[in-house]
Structure 1
Amino acid sequence: PAGGADMPAGGSSLFSGFRVLGLYSNHVPHALRYHLKHRESYVVTAVGRSFHTFNVNRLGIVAVSNSLPDEITCLAADRMLVFAATGRLISAFARNKEVVMHYNGHEQEVRLLLPLGDQLISADSGGDVIVWDVQSGEVYLRLHFDPSTFDVLAMMHPSTYLNKVLLGSSQGALQLWNIKTSKLLFTFAGWSAGVTVLQQSPAVDVVGVGTATGRIIIHNIRLDETLMSFTQDWGPITSLSFRTDGPPIVASGSPQGHIAFWDLERHQLVTQHRHAHRTSIAGATFLQGEPILVTNGADNAIKVWIFDQEGGGARLLRIRQGHSAPPTTIHHHGNDGKNILSAGQDGTLQSFSTVHERFNKNLGHGSVNKKKEKKKKKGLTYEELRLPAITAFSSSVTRQSDWDGIVACHRDRLATTTWNYQRCTMGAHHLQPPGSRRGAIATAVDITSCGNFVVIGSSCGRVDVYNLQSGLHRGCYGDDEKAHNGVVRGIATDTLNQLTLTTGSDWLLKFWRFKSKKLEEEMKLNAAPASMKLHRESGMLALALDDFTLVVVDIETRRVVRKFAGHHGNINDMTFSPDGRWLVTVAMDCTIRVWDLPSGSLVDCFLVATAPVSVSLSPTGDFLATTHVDSLGLYLWTNKSLCGPVGLRPLPADYQPVVETLPGVTVEETEQEVNSEEEEEEDVYQSAEQLGAELVTLSLLPESRWKSLLHLDEIKKRNKPVAAPAAPAAAPFFLPTVPGLTPRFATQTQTEHETQSKVLNWGVLSQRSEFICTLESALTTGSFDQPLRLLKDCGPAALSVELNSLAPEGGGARELLLVFIQMIDSMLASGRDFDLAHAYLALFLKLHLRSLSQDATAMEALNHLLSRLEKGWAELQASFDQSLCLLSYAKSALL
């Protein structure tokens, strides 16, 4: 039970943090790694206090690091480790996850990291450059630069220059240092512009220099000569990268999200990609020896470009993209609860899958006129054609395969737009009422359960109905085309399209006939409503009021059935549980509260770090999704009541909620985690030979080895040759033997009439087989592993021969029969090779039961074996019955 002081320390008794969706990148440049064993490249991007590792081939997340105490400001990686800087602290991660070393010695914020062999070079904003020993974490060398004369902004290691580091400053000068001898080797005067990027080119001694004025200088540092220079018109150079697969191309990134590609042989611009990212290009890197470019930016996107177009152009190959501005409105789409529609302040409408990232969809950015936008040149987008952010939307899956199933309201616009989920694009209609008042905007929207109509409310008090298939206006509510004397705050329609419910800033809740559009009843509220939510199946209508209270109305009796108070801030959003029992609300007081409608009480409440702005509970009840202020992700919370019994009791009025940590990113089950080379000999979990005394283990042998033992006679009869057997050749004077310490005759193919042939009978000359010898020695050792292993190597026919040879008439002895019974008893007692034990015992009894029935000692051993069989099977039968009962119960509950 959870209530009052009994509340667990975690914060919530109903929900626990599961994972966050839609977080991929931020403003920190990415780091690339190449795994020699996997022969695959990985891209590492920072997301808040942790970093994520994606494989470039599929852009699937394969590792998530442990969280650091502060935001990551810089990333770097070598073959073994990933280095992340947070403020003044530098941390080294192994296996892309665990912190194995801290480097603490900077007095200002670290902004540059450069791994160099067994050393790590870091530079901070105060002018300190420190060379660390990676293994010991000790300071090898410390250099100090005066930021007023040489402010370090870029750093690189020239190829083939042993122990050399090239530093670039905001004043424009470059310095080449030997970090082993701590000597300044040379100073480059620069180009009267601050250096932002330094990058090694494929040619030795040649480096690329990016400046704050947009110049790209290709410079020979050995001769101190400038080979060529380019200038981009988009501001400072944010990143530089050279192609290494043949074509002499260098790519430059800009703060506006554009990428330019320059030809180093022809000294000209080859092509450009405008708006490759919505924000500044944080990092752009070519893969070694491949025509692949990996980019990331602060717009929460990772993109992989491939250069296979004519004229040296690139196309987008893979992308992982979330919202570039915080999402404001989310709703689960469909009845399976696997997809969440999200509208963000960036103006896009996206769908995030709770199953896997490959099912994510981006429905794009709304445009004023799609035809005009298509006529514009490729790569050019105009802000005047883009619609503002979505403020409210409604979706339906009933007719989404026939026409558009999503309708959205936009900020400061009266016309609403339709969207098509299956085609992942904006729809065909702009819904705007005829003769509308200037300055009015759409504020509320709801699609009917049948998917044929949409009801839209506006700030001027109008409530209009449209047909979704044709987009035609089908009337409005109210006598003078005004349903409310104020802003319409909420709209809902019931399941059977009998009622339309509207509420507005005039403190009224009105009930209308959907078809005739006549007002049936109106209800006066105690305050102006902020929003409204209807649970169609139960007929419960929840209204959030401006005085931070909640009112629940039964639309059948049209009476207020519940009133809830407790929030201390504006209620941003609310959602019902699938059965209509719980109402989940989020508010600006940073609390998430769960109200129980039957008891009329608060049953769960917890705090989060940032205020939640939207909430949606899955139609299956498994996950609660929330979005928060200044956060780009969608946070999922697991409903613990589905996993086990959760006792709920009313919380007191003075209950103080506990802060719950927001969930983080988890690795997809289908992706393989990256392991560095140093972990190749890592201990691997080995499954036990037998898990429990009450369980059994099968042998994993093919079924043909043990299933056909009781049908050998039928198999021989079926395989009997049609032609008469030929007369056998005369037996050799010396019978062939198998090489080895134990003399064994080489077996020959026997015919059905071997007793009539002149070939010598094997029963006369047979020697004891290796199986019989090991079976005899097992009496003294007490271990039957060796004879059992020999039997596993035998086929069905050879196994029958071995068991036949146990009897005295086959060359064996009566004691061997008793030892074999002990071996079967040992197998059943251990619980291993359960199928083989039963198959061997069945064949053994079929061959020797007549002779065993005349031996009292053997019958006593068989009776003991029978009791063990019955006891073992009774335990298994009970386990089977319990599992089948649980499975049938779960299936009936789902149905």
Structure 2
Amino acid sequence: MPASKIFTGFRALGYVSNHIPLQVRHHRKHKENYVITCVGKSFHTYNCSKLGIVSISNTHQDDISCLAVDANLVFTGCRNKVQAFQRGKQVLRTYEGHEYPVHLLLPFGNHLISVDTGSNVKVWDIHSEGIYLEMNFDNSGFQVTAVMHPHTYLNKLVLGSKQGTLQLWNIKQDKMLYVFEGWNSAVTCLEQSPAMDVIAIGLADGQIIIHNLKFDETVMKFRQDWGPVTTISFRTDGHPMMVTGSTIGHIALWDLESKKLKSQIRDAHEGSVVGMQCLPNEPLMVTNAADNSLKVWIFDQPDGGGRLLRQRSGHSAPPNKVQHYDNNGKNILSAGQDSTLRSFSVIHDKHNKSLGRASYDKKESKKTGLKKDRYMMPPITQFSSDTSRQSDWDNIAACHRGKCLVTTWSFQRSTMGAHKLKHPRFDEDPKLKLATALCTDISPCGNFVVIGYSTGHVDKYNLQSAIHRGCYGETIAHNCSVRGIAIDGLNQITITAGLDGEVKFWKFKQKNLIDTCHLKCCISDILLHRESAMLAVSLDDFRIMIIDTDTRKIVRTFQGHHNAITDMTFSPDARWLITASMDSTVRTWDLPTGKLIDCFLVSSAATSLSLSPTGDFLATSHVDDIGVYLWSNMTLYTFVSLRPLPEDYEPDTLELPATQYERKETDEEDEKDDKDMDDYELSEFKSPEQLSDELITLSLLPNSRWQNLLNLDIIKKRNKPKEAPRVPKSAPFFIPTIAGLEPKFASIKDDTEKETKSRISIGNLEPLSELGKALMADDLDYDKILNRFKELGPSAIDLEIRSLSPEGGGSVKAMERFLMFCNHILYSKNNFELINAYLGLFLKVHGDTIASNPTLCLVLETLSSCHLETWRNLQDLFTQNTCMVNYLRTATL
């Protein structure tokens, strides 16, 4: 039994890069560069032209520790195992043998060098997966931290160590050739320069050494004051430039001719620059960092520096709040602890966008840079949005941690708004200086926003002009913190909830108190479903109460969580309430029955969740996780039994989805992996007979041969002329003649001379047709009979079927044999539409005869059960395809 009956993992959004250095490969056929980044248990492949995602690899058992690429394969290290991926997705080969986690990989011709944390170096044969050579080092004497192959050095490797020394090895002879003494600092990275015999060595003390291996001489030295050198790259587009990265996110550009610092890119990333690669023969450079970003830089500045050309990024800190934005469920708004507000698309990552970072002064923030921005605001804790007036003015209002200031945002313009809502009382009264905006809601008309504060005040503002439109209550709405605010769907009632357990109902316009509902526990949050007027209230004792806002009464109470409830969401029809708690459970409650119908555990507690307005996806965010996870609602695609769960139900853990949907082991068909463009593998041909066990096949005959069999009599009647053709009257002087070489006069016959027709019924005297004889044969050949039917036209088929009855020259036995013939074809699942047309005509013509004959009725019962089973299989296929087409049609609107 699955962990959840309703939800299954679909995919994760917002992942771009992590602390593993990127890798760049050039595709000769495509003539394009591709960059590979790691996102935890899988890696992504992007094209460098537009940073569009090309492929997503299959999921590893654990997080990837290192990446490497060659012309055909992508190599990954995971724990003590190395895997080779073909086409950036399919696992082609596996290399096992390390005792410690692998942290360095280097493709070396037909071999692969892997180094683990125990400084065990293995040389693998890529194709045979066997070990060609193994070298062991002692971490206390030589801990391997970097490895590279110098150009033109056949079978040679340079190994850098934490102790600062370097060693040159011949892996073919398993012999150490030379030891470089080093510079009394740990080696962090090694990079080949465009010049032969010369490499760049990055050290932990910030030094960059340009060293000649052939003569063991230092050509030049540089030092960056930003800490250890994390990565090095050289430009190959004709400019003698070296680029280095640092742990604080700065990038330095060094002029190798003048031997000085040429330029620098400050705050290129918010974290350590872990990966950097200058594209071959292009003034472009790609970088990645642990801040979940991938950037492409172009060197076109007057000082030789680089500017940001394009980027892909996600949250650099976990999201606090996620919420679906529009009524189509395509976009998800996410507010992160990095003070940014982002929109993620469930359709494609190219539609993702950032609305920017919250700032007190955006202009000054741009001048000083984002990393040292002293105007940055605290993270967003709560926000509300509405699409009614998104084209006219700001349509998102956000509360910030520890601040009474509420900011506005525009989704359409993808930026922070100009208004910052704050009442003057919070500056004038010293007692209110520690006030905090805790909750907010935008009216359905999109004109107003209502804000609740920790001081008990509730203010109403106009979104367009930011003018204060009054407050609820004489001075304060509650004598405690306001934990929740909701506005009904008609702009008639405003609902506020206080920490003391009071839920108050106010007139939206007049701001007069209508009613108060007293609860016996502190309130933590509320959620209103505007269409059904159902209000969900979460309490500090881990219970959830449902209040009908029309009657102001409690209609449901749910209890089962064992820790604080973090978020709630309604289904579009308000039948379900889905809740998340710090006990790491996600529970689905059925409102009509008041029972728990689904519950599952997650590895880390969900901090926020939102069900799409179309009900197809559930979006969740989790503790210490920068991703937004999508879960599919299985009730839209298949039948799900929604029986209540027992009270002693123990939930199972449901794994968080990966960055792409993966088929489970129980699926009947495994997903076919993409093949390399150079390798063409022919799929095995399956005949219609072989497919009959899986599918139902059609005859592929023209529709005119079978579609109108049931309406053939109507067609003949419609096509029959209304009047018989008349012979034109001859003129009195005209004598009819016979055509020929010699014209002759035709003899005039008397109109009274007519042939008399026989009144004898010859139906029983007619012999059986060829098909009738084939049906009455001792050894029935159904395929031969079917092929004969296929050769006939509609009128001939009608005549053959009518002649099977005793009145048409046939017999009851012939009719029984025809029904057996239909049963056989239906059971074989071939020519499905053809046999249904023949059977329909047969039942229409001979219905009375069949009803009066017990033998034919018995055969027809067997045929009916076979037909019903076959139709059910076909109906299931129709239903699945119709559901998928409807989903794709609505998803692309």
Under TM normalisation by the shorter chain, which class is it? 0.7 to 0.9
Which residue type is aligned with residue 195 of structure 1?
Answer: V
Matches within 5 A, 1:756-767: none
Specify the alignment match of 1:402 in structure 2.
392
1:457-498 Cα distance to aligned partner (Å, 9 max, x none): 111111111110011111111212x11122111111111111
Match of 2:505 among 500, 508, 511: 511
Specify the alignment match of 1:636 in structure 2.
630
Asked if 1 retains the 8 angstrom alpha-carbon contact of 2:365 and 2:374, the reply is no
Specify the alignment match of 1:695 in structure 2.
698
Specify the alignment match of 2:680 in structure 1.
681
- The percentage of aligned residue pairs carrying the same residue is 52
Q: Structure 1 residues 674, 165: CA separation in 2 closer, same or farther (over 3 Å shift)? A: farther
Matches within 5 A, 1:454-493: 454-480=449-475, 482-493=476-487
Separation of aligned partners in 1, 2:89 and 2:254: 37
Asked if 1 retains the 8 angstrom alpha-carbon contact of 2:10 and 2:661, the reply is no
Asked if 2 retains the 8 angstrom alpha-carbon contact of 1:63 and 1:673, the reply is no
1:6-46 Cα distance to aligned partner (Å, 9 max, x none): xxx21111111111111121111122222333333222222
Q: Structure 1 residues 255, 676: CA separation in 2 closer, same or farther (over 3 Å shift)? A: farther
Match of 2:279 among 265, 277, 287: 287
What SS does the corresponding residue of 2:641 show, helix, strand or coil? coil
Matches within 5 A, 1:170-249: 170-249=162-241
Specify the alignment match of 2:318 in structure 1.
326
Asked if 1 retains the 8 angstrom alpha-carbon contact of 2:637 and 2:883, the reply is no
Specify the alignment match of 1:619 in structure 2.
613
Separation of aligned partners in 1, 2:604 and 2:420: 35
Matched, 1:435 2:425: yes
Specify the alignment match of 2:768 in structure 1.
none
What SS does the corresponding residue of 2:320 show, helix, strand or coil? strand
Provide structure 2 residue ranges, at least 5 long, that are not aligned to the other structure: 427-431, 663-670, 703-782, 795-817, 823-830, 842-866
Matched, 1:560 2:563: no
Matched, 1:145 2:137: yes
Separation of aligned partners in 2, 1:121 and 1:484: 68
Q: Structure 1 residues 493, 53: CA separation in 2 closer, same or farther (over 3 Å shift)? A: same
**How far is the alpha carbon of 1:137 from its aligned partner?**
2.9
Match of 1:425 among 407, 410, 415: 415
1:31-76 Cα distance to aligned partner (Å, 9 max, x none): 2222333333222222222222223233233332222222211111
**How far is the alpha carbon of 1:136 from its aligned partner?**
2.8
Matches within 5 A, 1:743-762: none
1:325-381 Cα distance to aligned partner (Å, 9 max, x none): 11110000011100000011111100000001111111111111123334x25x565
**How far is the alpha carbon of 1:531 from its aligned partner?**
0.9
Q: Structure 1 residues 686, 288: CA separation in 2 closer, same or farther (over 3 Å shift)? A: farther
What SS does the corresponding residue of 1:423 show, helix, strand or coil? coil
Which residue type is aligned with residue 431 of structure 1?
Answer: L
What SS does the corresponding residue of 1:372 show, helix, strand or coil? helix
1:255-311 Cα distance to aligned partner (Å, 9 max, x none): 112222222122232322222222111101122222221211111112222334444
Match of 1:52 among 44, 60, 69: 44
Specify the alignment match of 2:599 in structure 1.
605
Q: Structure 1 residues 689, 36: CA separation in 2 closer, same or farther (over 3 Å shift)? A: farther
Separation of aligned partners in 1, 2:505 and 2:554: 14
Which residue type is aligned with residue 611 of structure 2?
Answer: L
Q: Structure 1 residues 659, 876: CA separation in 2 closer, same or farther (over 3 Å shift)? A: farther
Separation of aligned partners in 2, 1:305 and 1:146: 40
**How far is the alpha carbon of 1:79 from its aligned partner?**
2.0
Which residue type is aligned with residue 472 of structure 2?
Answer: Y
Specify the alignment match of 2:379 in structure 1.
389
Asked if 2 retains the 8 angstrom alpha-carbon contact of 1:196 and 1:212, the reply is yes
Q: Structure 1 residues 204, 536: CA separation in 2 closer, same or farther (over 3 Å shift)? A: same
Matched, 1:535 2:529: yes
Match of 1:592 among 586, 594, 599: 586
Specify the alignment match of 1:257 in structure 2.
249
**How far is the alpha carbon of 1:696 from its aligned partner?**
5.1
Asked if 1 retains the 8 angstrom alpha-carbon contact of 2:13 and 2:344, the reply is yes
Separation of aligned partners in 2, 1:679 and 1:564: 60
Which residue type is aligned with residue 72 of structure 2?
Answer: M
Which residue type is aligned with residue 424 of structure 2?
Answer: P
Q: Structure 1 residues 875, 606: CA separation in 2 closer, same or farther (over 3 Å shift)? A: farther
Match of 1:373 among 353, 357, 365: 365
Separation of aligned partners in 2, 1:330 and 1:398: 20
Which residue type is aligned with residue 453 of structure 1?
Answer: F
**How far is the alpha carbon of 1:191 from its aligned partner?**
2.0
Q: Structure 1 residues 25, 693: CA separation in 2 closer, same or farther (over 3 Å shift)? A: closer
What SS does the corresponding residue of 1:123 show, helix, strand or coil? strand
Which stretch of structure 1 is more off in the superposition, 94-103 or 63-72? 94-103
Separation of aligned partners in 2, 1:683 and 1:191: 58
**How far is the alpha carbon of 1:186 from its aligned partner?**
1.5
Q: Structure 1 residues 884, 117: CA separation in 2 closer, same or farther (over 3 Å shift)? A: closer
Specify the alignment match of 1:68 in structure 2.
60
How many residue pairs match? The answer is 733
Match of 1:574 among 562, 568, 578: 568
Matches within 5 A, 1:763-778: none
Separation of aligned partners in 1, 2:785 and 2:613: 49
Separation of aligned partners in 2, 1:76 and 1:50: 14
Matches within 5 A, 1:802-841: none
Which residue type is aligned with residue 42 of structure 1?
Answer: Y
Q: Structure 1 residues 202, 108: CA separation in 2 closer, same or farther (over 3 Å shift)? A: same
Specify the alignment match of 2:403 in structure 1.
413
Asked if 2 retains the 8 angstrom alpha-carbon contact of 1:61 and 1:667, the reply is no
Separation of aligned partners in 2, 1:828 and 1:421: 68
Which residue type is aligned with residue 298 of structure 2?
Answer: I
What SS does the corresponding residue of 1:312 show, helix, strand or coil? coil
What SS does the corresponding residue of 2:635 show, helix, strand or coil? helix
Which stretch of structure 1 is more off in the superposition, 502-511 or 342-351? 502-511
Which residue type is aligned with residue 502 of structure 2?
Answer: L
Which stretch of structure 1 is more off in the superposition, 320-329 or 81-90? 81-90
Q: Structure 1 residues 698, 355: CA separation in 2 closer, same or farther (over 3 Å shift)? A: farther
Provide structure 1 residue ranges, at least 5 long, that are not aligned to the other structure: 1-8, 700-825, 843-863
**How far is the alpha carbon of 1:429 from its aligned partner?**
0.6
What SS does the corresponding residue of 1:373 show, helix, strand or coil? helix
Separation of aligned partners in 2, 1:180 and 1:421: 61
Separation of aligned partners in 1, 2:576 and 2:466: 36
Separation of aligned partners in 2, 1:665 and 1:876: 51
What SS does the corresponding residue of 1:384 show, helix, strand or coil? coil
Q: Structure 1 residues 66, 875: CA separation in 2 closer, same or farther (over 3 Å shift)? A: farther
1:385-422 Cα distance to aligned partner (Å, 9 max, x none): 11111100001111011000111111111101111111
**How far is the alpha carbon of 1:442 from its aligned partner?**
0.8
Separation of aligned partners in 2, 1:465 and 1:477: 8
Asked if 2 retains the 8 angstrom alpha-carbon contact of 1:159 and 1:200, the reply is yes
Which residue type is aligned with residue 19 of structure 1?
Answer: R
Q: Structure 1 residues 138, 888: CA separation in 2 closer, same or farther (over 3 Å shift)? A: closer
Q: Structure 1 residues 641, 383: CA separation in 2 closer, same or farther (over 3 Å shift)? A: same
Q: Structure 1 residues 695, 548: CA separation in 2 closer, same or farther (over 3 Å shift)? A: same
What SS does the corresponding residue of 2:365 show, helix, strand or coil? helix
1:753-808 Cα distance to aligned partner (Å, 9 max, x none): xxxxxxxxxxxxxxxxxxxxxxxxxxxxxxxxxxxxxxxxxxxxxxxxxxxxxxxx
Which stretch of structure 1 is more off in the superposition, 17-26 or 543-552? 17-26
Asked if 2 retains the 8 angstrom alpha-carbon contact of 1:595 and 1:601, the reply is yes
1:95-140 Cα distance to aligned partner (Å, 9 max, x none): 3233343333333332211111122212222232222222333332
Separation of aligned partners in 1, 2:173 and 2:884: 75
Specify the alignment match of 1:752 in structure 2.
none
Instruction: Calculate the TM-score normalised by the size of structure 1.
Output: 0.76
Specify the alignment match of 1:267 in structure 2.
259
Instruction: Calculate the TM-score normalised by the size of structure 2.
Output: 0.76
Matched, 1:26 2:21: no
